[in-house]
Structure 1
Amino acid sequence: MSTAPVRLLLDGKAEAAVSPLDRGLLYGDGLFETVRFAAGSAPLWARHMQRLQHGCKRLHLPAIDAEHLESEALSVIDGMPEAVVRITITRGIGERGYRLPAHPQPTRLVAAFAPPPSPPEDYRDGVVARLCALRLASQPLLAGLKHLNRLEQVLARAEWDDPAVFEGLLCDEAGRVISATMANLFAVIDGVMVTPALDRCGVAGVARAEILARGGVQVRDLPLDLLWQAQELFLSSSVRGILPLRTVGETAFAPGPHTRALQQHWRDLGFSGSQA
């Protein structure tokens, strides 16, 4: 099976030689954003840059140049009608050890990929999810950030190889539902949209932020036993949009008016096609 070449810029140059001494490689010391482009535009770009700037501040990384990143992103997607751009920022090369470099020179990697398949039936009928055995560890200092250490998600995704299962839901150590491995989770309970609080662990997605900005969502702890009482369950992702969950394990759910309204909102933002 052939793989299409990846278009990328490393510190603005068309090369892929990251130093083996880069702290992103050695320690996962950095952040990333995965941005969906449609017809040469990224409707959630401002939210991605806001989260990236916030993450840089929390990790004591130099501030980013959002205009420069946008220029590089547009360069790597040139000629691609639909694309996913991954922006990776690391602290760069430093002396061996955990101590922060006194004057960091961040590494900047901007790469474009073809978007993932978007079967229309997934958005119409929903996808299948399972409950993962792995539990997310609590670390408030990193909670919400899209940092480079994704080992928890890697190990959770390794729990299944059934192609019929699209996603896995993750709980924290106390049994509270947090998210899916690649997306945020929303539930409609007693007619109210609820999404898990992410002050202990988890990634605060930009699609989640877009939904929260519309209002009418409770951000709260979501115990697992309450999840089974939901009338609707759906995932939010800046890459895939709004995906209803059809089943989680043996429990069935059905797309409802809240899910459909947000799918329409995604189309209104400019994400055309079945992925919205």
Structure 2
Amino acid sequence: MRRQLRETLPGLAAVAAEYAVFYAGLLLLALVSLLWAPFAAACYWLLPAGLGRRFGRFVIMCIFRFYLWALEGMGACRFDLRELDSLRGGPPLVLAANHPGLLDALLVLSRLPGAACIMKADVVDNPFLGAAARLARYIRNDTLAGMIRCAVQELRRGGQVLVFPEGTRTTRRPVNAFKGGVGLIAKRAGVPVQTLFIETDSPFLGKGWPIFRKPDMPVCYRVRLGRRFDAPDSERAFMAELAQYYEAELSRPESEPLRPGAAGCAAVHNV
């Protein structure tokens, strides 16, 4: 009996430690967001739009990067986001990414402070998250016409726009059916579409995953760059080609293993 207890206790301690790390990670993001919200709200009214946009996005990048570094340090996750750095400070682009989980925008924005994210209107209106989004002048997705107009303006200012063509988190592997907004934005702005592939070894925070349910840790993430498409002439033909490309890319075997400790899953703070 004592021997069984001695053998069981380390396992129970490891599980308890994982739960502590998991909930500490959720609490950390909530606290940092809550602390920044009143300052972001004040800056929104006090700073000129251009300065507020740059400052807001820079702070969001710092917060997200710190959060990912903390998750890495606690052993909850591993990340490889190195390829995103080549886009920083680059030309105007529509950044089109697949959407396996809730952390996807956070991963991209932690490396690209110049990017504007298209967000649901209820998130922008949220008192907890909305102040930072409004200061950063992220794009509300309340009406299709308004969203496209704001995205085109952002691109013509020289920025980059992050779009998830699926419109929601993936429920049908490898990707959901695509919506046409990506093609319309790229066509009207006359800018290329840079494809991004977000890969993970866990369904954590995917569609239907309860936010307080602990995954097996560490969870591994990688973002890699795909093909860059020229601005389309035909939105319909382009979206069909884009969807086919994503399905093919996300269905092929991984060239590098996506697992903790592997070369393809490096630490964020070592990037």
Under TM normalisation by the shorter chain, which class is it? 0.3 to 0.5
- Greater strand share, structure number: 1
Q: Larger radius of gyration, structure 1 or 2?
A: 2
- Greater helix share, structure number: 2
TM-score by length of 1: 0.32
